[in-house]
Amino acid sequence: MERTKSKLTKKQLDIVLFGSGERRYNMNWESDRFSGDFNSVYEGVVPNLERRYRETESDYIRSEIERYMRIYPCPVCLGKRLKPEVLAITVADKNIHEVSSMTVEESAKFFALFGSVKAGERIKLSITEEKIASAVLKEIKNRLSFLEQFEKRVGSSPSLHHSGRGPDRDLRLYRGVLQPHPSPLLVSPAR
């Protein structure tokens, strides 16, 4: 095909970009090694790049394909990557996205309000909630304490997820340090 993009109809441009779906086309191919006709579906530029991006093990190829990629926040979740039903669940008026967006210091202050009276503030839990949350809260507080100590040595204050507040290097290090610890949410003790 020898046409400029401006000369293509919307339907033709969609086929070039996104493929022909199930529709097969008779194609004529000529190169130094092969020439001939074959009948096939057309994958499309965008699906081809997406597939090659997923399948490649080459950092160079991945970075070349990334030149054509853009990140747009989802119009439903606004980039939070969680369903509205999940974001509707809150603890102390904070949903999981708000809590995970906190810095280590902010998180430590927030979780310190559970189960302790500090400056007259306390987040009260029912007896049932206390039973359910006690092991999880203990683990979260222990990990946050570790991260606070770690931050004092490193001298930075990144958030717990990639929000742009801290260096990627420190975030990877934090995740690596936290990884070996079993989570009470994922591991149940043998009885």
Q: Which tens digit of pLDDT belongs to each residue from 84-124?
A: 899 999 888 899 999 988 998 899 989 888 865 555 567 87
Task: Output the pLDDT for position 57.
Answer: 94
pTM for this entry: 0.48
The CA distance from 121 to 92, in Å, is: 12
- Non-local (6+) Cβ contacts of 148 within 8 A are 104, 105, 108
Task: Output the pLDDT for position 63.
Answer: 92
Task: Output the pLDDT for position 48.
Answer: 94
pLDDT tens for the chain, 191 residues long, are 677 888 889 998 999 999 988 888 888 888 888 888 888 888 999 999 999 999 999 999 999 999 988 888 888 888 888 888 999 998 888 999 999 889 988 999 898 888 655 555 678 788 888 888 888 889 999 999 988 888 887 765 444 444 444 444 455 555 554 554 444 443 334 43
Tokens standing for residue 136? 């999880």
The CA distance from 109 to 103, in Å, is: 10
The CA distance from 124 to 177, in Å, is: 31
Domains of the chain: 7-66 (1.10.8.280), 101-178 (no CATH)
C-beta of residue 107 within 8 angstroms of C-beta of residue 98:
no
Tokens standing for residue 9? 């109809």
Task: Output the pLDDT for position 165.
Answer: 44
